[in-house]
Chain A
Amino acid sequence: MNVEVLWWEGCPSTEKARAAVEEALSDLGLDGTPVRMREIRTDGAARDAGFVGSPTILIDGVDLVPAAGEEQIGLSCRVYQQRDGRVSPIPDPDDLREALRGAAEREEVNR
């Protein structure tokens, strides 16, 4: 499984996002899965990556939370919604676990 966190230095949520991903992997018994951190530094790099905000978490190249229509590509902090409705700079831990579990199951099937 490929797990990648795209981040921009203008947001203070990067370490918390990385920790949330690692914790979710650990919860699922997938501790050995590497988490690749990729910094997005410029508007051009944001365009190339389709980056709609920091952090963006890609699991096997797929955005954990598909970008909503109003989200614009560029260097900004991403707005996530927790399952209880609160706004947050990082995804809901349950969404994270669910996406990682799904990717792990697909990987198992394809073996």
Chain B
Amino acid sequence: MSLTIGQVAPDFSLLDTAGRKWSVASYDGAPATVVVFTCNHCPYALAWHDRIVDVAREYAARGVRVLAVNSNDADRYPRDSLDAMKDRVAKEDWPMPYLHDATQEVARAYGATVTPDVFVLDAEDRLRYRGAPDADYDNPGERAEWLREALDSVLDGSILERPETKPVGCSIKWKA
């Protein structure tokens, strides 16, 4: 079951690569929160990563928080282990925490299916957008436009014309 548009997103408590605890509810006062399921080894997640990073940086000034969550089974895919996540964050400049969903409970609660899979929540943690960052992983010029539209809609209080798109990417690697 996937989270549906308008539904309140389930809260969670996950640790990031620095051992800090994060939850959706901890963002009391944030006008919008983006939860993006992503990972280290998927070409789609990697292709879209810089665009999501740009959004995280640009919208931070407006109070938007972005949480990146890795839910892949690290036993079968060691490139998605917590250590590999730490290595990646240490090498790159991340403006958002990278959370480890070791039990995969958060991915299941949200109904995430692929990486990347983007969920935009409003100030009351209601789902306002779910899907891909934009129309084409292969075109950086798309600038995560669907994600930006969703955030602008939440921040402006306007109606979002496209609340759902098909997430495109690598299947989440579930534990057997």
Contacts and interface: CB of A to CB of B under 8 A. Distances in A.
Interface in B70-104: 76-79
Q: How large is the interface on A (under 10, 10 to 19, 20 to 34, 35 or more residues)?
A: 10 to 19
B43 A87 contact: yes
Interface stretch (A31-39, A74-82, A95-103): A74-82
B168 A74 contact: no
A86 interface: yes
B46 A12 contact: no
B44 A89 contact: yes
Given A10-B171, A12-B168, A12-B169, A74 B43 contact: no
Interface residues of B, number: 18
Contacts of A89: 43-44, 47, 137
Contacts of B138: 86, 88
B170 A11 contact: yes
A40 to B, nearest CB: 14
B41 interface: yes
Interface of B: 41-44, 46-47, 76-79, 137-138, 140, 168-171, 173
Given A74-B76, A76-B77, A79-B43, 20 more contacts: A10-B170, A10-B173, A11-B171, A12-B169, A72-B78, A74-B77, A76-B42, A76-B170, A77-B41, A77-B44, A79-B42, A80-B43, A86-B47, A86-B138, A87-B43, A87-B46, A88-B47, A88-B138, A89-B43, A89-B44
